[in-house]
Structure 1
Amino acid sequence: MDIREIVTVTNKFLVEEFEANPESISPEANMKSTLDLDSLDYIDMVVVIEDNFGFKVNPEDFQSIVTFQDFYNYVATRVQQKELV
């Protein structure tokens, strides 16, 4: 799975699961404020990521994610690691 596919899948579930405005999702936008995420939303996001991409998410990984690009890069790295196993 390449980065374009990851961005497409991610943006689709952000719109569907978190009712995000597709126009507000851009690589440099702040993910937390754009999606108005609270702690329960992060739990939901962990479940959605695991379902869509097939890897275990450590909740503390979100501490380093600020922008949507950070999020895409995180998912891409984890997917690549999973594919190497």
Structure 2
Amino acid sequence: MQFSLWDAPDDGTQIGTTQSMNAVAVVDGIFFVTLNGGSEFSANAFVGDARWLEVAVQCPDDADYTTLTPRRPSMLYPIV
């Protein structure tokens, strides 16, 4: 899976770099990942401004990623 953060629901500017993760377990369309652990989106990615998360998936036999639409509104959830 690939995850990218944007400043708009369509078009817009990408925040930071795309984060790739291999072998993400998906059960009934639900998955859990931890993003921005290495500040790929930047340390200030979630300070005040609205953000949208774009997700792209790749099946084992596919050559390219497929971007899922629409982008999803994203918020900061602290780990406790």
Task: Determine which structure has the larger strand proportion and give its number.
Answer: 2
Please classify the TM superposition score into its range, dividing by the shorter chain length: under 0.3
With CA pairs under 8 Å and 6+ residues apart, which has the higher RCO, 1 or 2? 1
Larger Rg: 2
TM (normalized to structure 1)? Answer: 0.25
Task: Determine which structure has the larger helix proportion and give its number.
Answer: 1
TM (normalized to structure 2)? Answer: 0.26
